[in-house]
Homo-oligomer: A and B are copies of this chain.
Amino acid sequence: MDAAIVTVGDELLVGDTENTNATWLCDRLDARGVSVRRVTVVPDEVGEIARVVNEYHAEYDAVIVTGGLGPTHDDVTMDAVAAAFGRDLVANDEAAAWLASQGYSADDLVAETTHLPADCRPLPNEAGVAPGAVVEAVYVLPGVPTEMKAMFESVVEEFEGARTHTVTVDVDEPESELIDRFAALREAFDVAVGSYPGESVRVKITASSVDEAERAAEWVRERSTLVDPDA
């Protein structure tokens, strides 16, 4: 299962806000074996959001869109997702009924709160007000982290890919020393290898079975100068 994440918001594009929503979603999806192929930040503009959602919907198994739900003029994500599918935004009775059950009457709410793309599946917002929506394989979630996380967890079972297993080894040698060792490792085992330089080099070994990942990690440990955990 391949997925893309689209995070909406001018505040991200001017560097006011760290995109922690995307990182959290990547972590959750990876844990479920879903391969995230793109994370893209787009401005609060109907045309731009619709274009990216449309492209990613055509290319990936699932698209998660976060941000830009709510009552103000810069909350245009539902418009954009409706546009991407050529649908109208319409009052959604199920979303209104759910909000009513939480004590929000229509009079309490801004009129457009329950306007969602036609024929979508509404997603209740357990931690806020603005509902989310699922249109085909596009999941539209709020941008407020507590609301986004609660809503994602309500649909998490719908995301499921081939599980992989990763073991990390911290190596106390320059990355340039490891090139031949990595080539031999990938020859000897059915693994993907990533290396992440910092004070030392973190080597990430990923395989479809725990055993294969562990055997490959042991092979690296035997041949490398490891970071001394007590240093």
Binding site for B on A (CB under 8 A): 10-20, 22-30, 35-44, 48, 70-74, 109-110, 144, 175-176, 178-179, 182-183, 186, 193-197, 204
> Known contacts being A23-B18, A176-B110, A197-B144, is A13 close to B36, with CB within 8 Å?
yes
12 contacts between A and B (CB under 8 A): A10-B194, A13-B26, A13-B39, A14-B27, A15-B23, A16-B27, A18-B18, A18-B19, A19-B39, A38-B40, A70-B197, A71-B175
The answer on a CB contact under 8 Å between B38 and A41 is yes
> Known contacts being A71-B176, A110-B179, A193-B73, is A37 close to B26, with CB within 8 Å?
no
Query: Mostly helix, strand, loop or mixed at chain A's interface?
Result: mixed
A114 smallest CB distance to B (angstroms): 13
> Known contacts being A38-B42, A48-B37, is A193 close to B74, with CB within 8 Å?
yes
Which of chain B's residues have a CB closer than 8 A to the CB of A72?
175, 178-179, 182, 195
Listed residue (A25, A27, A38, A42) with the most chain B CB atoms within 10 angstroms of its CB: A38
Cα distance, A173 to B144, chains bound together (Å): 17
Residue in chain B with minimal CB distance to A41:
B39
> Known contacts being A179-B73, A194-B74, is A37 close to B11, with CB within 8 Å?
no
Contact residue among B13, B15, B20, B30 (Cβ-Cβ distance under 8 Å from A14): B30
- What 4 pairs across the A-B complex have the smallest Cβ distances? A15-B27, A15-B26, A39-B41, A14-B30
A208 smallest CB distance to B (angstroms): 15
Residue in chain B with minimal CB distance to A55:
B55
A205 smallest CB distance to B (angstroms): 12
> Known contacts being A11-B196, A74-B194, A194-B10, is A43 close to B39, with CB within 8 Å?
no
Contact residue among B11, B27, B48, B194 (Cβ-Cβ distance under 8 Å from A194): B11
Cα distance, A183 to B22, chains bound together (Å): 31
Cα distance, A194 to B43, chains bound together (Å): 12
Cα distance, A61 to B2, chains bound together (Å): 31
The answer on a CB contact under 8 Å between A36 and B14 is yes
A90 smallest CB distance to B (angstroms): 20
